[in-house]
Amino acid sequence: MAEEMIFFATAPAGIETVLATELGALGVIDPKPARGGIRFQATQELAYRACLWSRTASRVLLPLAEFAVASADDLYQGVQALPWEEHMAPDGTLSIEFTGTCPGINHSHFGAQRAKDAIVDRFRARCGRRPGVERQRPDLRIHLLVHDARASVSLDLSGDSLHRRGYRQATVAAPLKETLAAALLLKAGWPALAEMGGPLLDPMCGSGTLAIEAAWIAGDQAPGLPRTHWGFTGWLGHIPALWNRLLAEATERREAGFRRIPPIFASDLDPKAVRATSINAHQAGIAKHIRIEQRDWATVEPLPGASGLVMVNPPYGERLGEQGDWIPLYTQLGDRLKAGFAGWRAAVFTGNPELGKRMGLRAEKTHVFFNGPLECRLLQFRVEPDFFVDRAAADHRARDLMLERAKAAGAEGFINRLRKNLRHLSRWAEREGVSCYRLYDADLPDYAVAVDRYEQWLHVQEYAPPASIDPNRARARLDQALAVLPALLDIPPEQVFLKIRQRQKGAKQYQKQAEYGHFHEVREGTARFLVNFTDYLDTGLFLDHRLTRRLLGELAAGRRFLNLFAYTATATVYAALGGATRTTTVDLSTTYLDWAKRNLELNGISGPNHQLIPADCLQWATQTRDRYDLIFLDPPTFSNSKRMEKTFDIQRDHIELLRQVLCLLAPDGILVFSTNYRKFRLEREALADLRFDDWSRRTLPPDFAGNPKIHQCWRISRP
């Protein structure tokens, strides 16, 4: 009877159960899940079979020893004590992969160096010769893991990660690893379907990984057969005759299996993906077994014959705000399956299970897998009427359940306040034709968020809690708010956008939050604006300035209008629509001026009478000789932009600023000055020659009535 040893097959989180089943099918008795993979007892032949045939293992390791380690010296002595001359020749080559830390070793490179020194010193002392280091294809690849003050030393029989099958010559963005693709197919029941002759369709094939792995599974292709290098070939314990026999057996099985591959169809709308799939299929030796086409997934038809499996890895939007872009795709995918693939099975791999619910199909099974660090779901469906779901009814039930759970968790007060605000403000908004307004502004101390409704989107800003508030409690309240809002307002969760609002200092106030470039069009009266919920702290439309903009529009008829520190030029749009004869819009940011240009064009405003000037407003005001009948001045509280000649502080510099801007005002002109700095104090004694009308209350919209310090505003003119 052949001697049995302990081996360890590594695998990413989520794949362990699939790997254990796979090893059992190879003949392993009682494979045991462990941290990072599966531990199993087997003969050397079974270990070779695992290397050659496992579709889901990342590596197959042969553990040599485990010992306590409390210092770098302990590591050195423990490694040196092992009989390395039994595993490699003195003039061979080695490579060490070190993971973990211990006292005295805080860097993997240093840990690997100490282990290498231990092995080299042992060979030098015993043989007078020493092995060299080879990182690419060493004779012996050694894995060393330090965890919880224990060191585990293993030989890597694989030599390189087993997901590297050798066929991926072309790729597209974010391809699936071959081992993950195989695990998904195994979990979806593809081997049994393939054995019955059922076809497989992948209508979003990317670089073809799912289709190629499916063909290899159906064709009994050992995934390790094309590999030319293994970690055990330079190991002194290697048995070449045994390995060659297994290779010959795998070759015979492939020749017989390829005659049984059922129809497999891979398509993609992207010609680059189609080309990559074709190249990889040829390299994998199964090009004639896969039909590859450039086609819109919505036009894919079932292959003739028996029902089969639709296997698809659609996009799902990993970043905030992207999920909503893919709702139509998932909805249409579900509709296409129900309309054309009755009796088939479907498996959808997604990082956003909420999108999977938009398909209108009830998942029969759901399994968790990790695509890199991202937790994903494999949703399995039977395309049969019993599993069809009424989306509207399901959404309604889900909303009711969410609200009941939130109430049970202590959010009833928040829900009641939202309902009260919604009743009051929705009637006012409908009466006034307002579609973008503040719905809630930290009304309850435990729920310190501001909620702004922009038509069918919600923009939620969490005020950073003080240090005295338990961060776990604050996080729980925020999670409750984010769960309650879409349920109560009947808005999809993916159309709710969250930002953390806190005091911005220095250059941080100008930095982007993200860079997705997603803009949405909203209406305010007769004006139309583009807003962005993801890229910046603010959306591009200050809702508390709604009445200020309206007053500027009413004053602008027949006047020359100047907008300083213009941001996205929403005030300019109102002035132009109100009949201004000429508008000038000045801002230092070219990004905001481009946004301003798009806002103007959206409202049909263009031509030489509407200037956009990228400049430091303070410097520009001292240089221009133009005069204006109506000026809107809404400067930042503080700015230290590198493109400005000096820093700007609204409290310190407002007298000088107002004097400069008043030089641009026509004799009977009007200056509207606004600031959101809550501690601002206007020094009127230094401006005694001017007339001030306090418009702060006049420009405070009803949705900000509970926050009267949101801004201050004055109408300034010469007596």
Segment 601-656, tens digit of pLDDT: 999 999 999 999 999 998 999 999 999 999 999 999 988 766 556 788 999 999 99
Q: Hey, do 178-222+259-392 and 529-717 end up sharing a CATH topology, with the first three levels equal?
A: yes
Question: Tell me, what's the pLDDT at 210?
Answer: 97
Structure confidence by residue, pLDDT tens digits, 76-98: 999 999 999 999 999 999 999 99
Residue with tokens 């420009």: 699
| Dihedral sign for Cα atoms in the order 546, 551, 557, 562 | negative
Percent of the chain with pLDDT strictly greater than 90: 68
Q: Which residues pair with 631 in a beta bridge?
A: 562, 671
Contact 40, 54 (CB under 8 A): no
CA pair distance 109, 120, nearest whole angstrom: 16
Contact 172, 67 (CB under 8 A): no
* Side chain identity, residue 558: G
Helices (H), 163-235: 178-187, 190-195, 209-218
Structure confidence by residue, pLDDT tens digits, 357-369: 888 888 999 999 9
Structure confidence by residue, pLDDT tens digits, 655-678: 999 999 999 999 999 999 999 999
Q: Please enumerate, as own/partner, the contacts of 171-175 that have beta carbons within 8 Å and a separation of 24 or more.
A: 171/207, 171/276, 172/206, 172/207, 172/270, 172/272, 172/273, 172/276, 175/206, 175/207, 175/209
Contact 692, 684 (CB under 8 A): yes
Give every CB contact of residue 573 below 8 A, 6+ residues apart in sequence. 527, 529, 599, 600, 603, 605
CATH classification code of 529-717: 3.40.50.150
User: Above 90 in pLDDT, residue 289?
Assistant: yes
Structure confidence by residue, pLDDT tens digits, 100-157: 888 888 888 999 999 999 999 999 998 889 999 988 899 999 999 998 889 999 999 9
Give every CB contact of residue 543 below 8 A, 6+ residues apart in sequence. 436, 437, 438, 452, 701, 703, 704
CA pair distance 342, 267, nearest whole angstrom: 20
CA pair distance 207, 601, nearest whole angstrom: 41
Structure confidence by residue, pLDDT tens digits, 547-573: 999 999 999 999 999 999 999 999 999
CA pair distance 628, 583, nearest whole angstrom: 9
Q: How confident is the model at residue 516 (pLDDT cuts 50, 70, 90)?
A: low
- Return the CATH number of 178-222+259-392, one of 3.40.50.300, 3.40.50.150, 3.30.1330.10, 3.40.190.10: 3.40.50.150
Residue with tokens 């829900």: 415
Question: Tell me, what's the pLDDT at 507?
Answer: 39
Length of the chain: 719
Residue with tokens 């590198």: 642
Q: Which DSSP state fits 409?
A: I
The domain 394-502 having CATH identifier 3.30.450.20: the answer here is no
User: Above 70 in pLDDT, residue 512?
Assistant: no
Question: Tell me, what's the pLDDT at 508?
Answer: 41
CA pair distance 219, 464, nearest whole angstrom: 58
Question: Tell me, what's the pLDDT at 501?
Answer: 62
How large is the average pLDDT for residues 510-522? 65
Question: Tell me, what's the pLDDT at 103?
Answer: 87
Q: CB neighbours (10 Å) of residue 550?
A: 17
Q: How confident is the model at residue 503 (pLDDT cuts 50, 70, 90)?
A: very low
State which H helix or E strand residue 475 sits in. Answer: helix 471-489
User: Above 80 in pLDDT, residue 380?
Assistant: yes
Contact 570, 527 (CB under 8 A): yes
Report the alpha-carbon angle 367-370-376, nearest 5: 55
Q: How confident is the model at residue 590 (pLDDT cuts 50, 70, 90)?
A: very high
Q: Which residues pair with 441 in a beta bridge?
A: 450
Question: Tell me, what's the pLDDT at 332?
Answer: 87
User: Above 70 in pLDDT, residue 506?
Assistant: no
- Most confident range (mean pLDDT) of 40-44, 168-172, 466-470 is 40-44
Tell me what the pLDDT averaged over the chain comes to.
90
Contact 181, 209 (CB under 8 A): yes
User: Above 80 in pLDDT, residue 515?
Assistant: no
CA pair distance 18, 380, nearest whole angstrom: 16
Q: Which DSSP state fits 504?
A: -
Give every CB contact of residue 349 below 8 A, 6+ residues apart in sequence. 176, 184, 312, 313, 369, 371, 376, 377, 378, 379
Question: Tell me, what's the pLDDT at 312?
Answer: 95
Q: Using alpha carbons only, how large is the chain's radius of gyration in Å?
A: 34
Helix (H), strand (E) counts: the chain? 19, 30
Q: How confident is the model at residue 513 (pLDDT cuts 50, 70, 90)?
A: very low
Provide DSSP, 574-614.
HHHHTT-SEEEEEES-HHHHHHHHHHHHHTT--STTEEEEE
Domain boundaries, the chain: 4-156, 178-222+259-392, 394-502, 529-717
What tokens does 719 get?
């007596």
User: Above 90 in pLDDT, residue 521?
Assistant: yes
| Strand, coil or helix: 318 | coil
Contact 144, 152 (CB under 8 A): yes
CATH T-level assignment (fold) for domain 4-156: VC0802-like (3.30.2130)
Q: How confident is the model at residue 391 (pLDDT cuts 50, 70, 90)?
A: low
CA pair distance 673, 669, nearest whole angstrom: 13
User: Above 50 in pLDDT, residue 504?
Assistant: no
CA pair distance 294, 538, nearest whole angstrom: 41
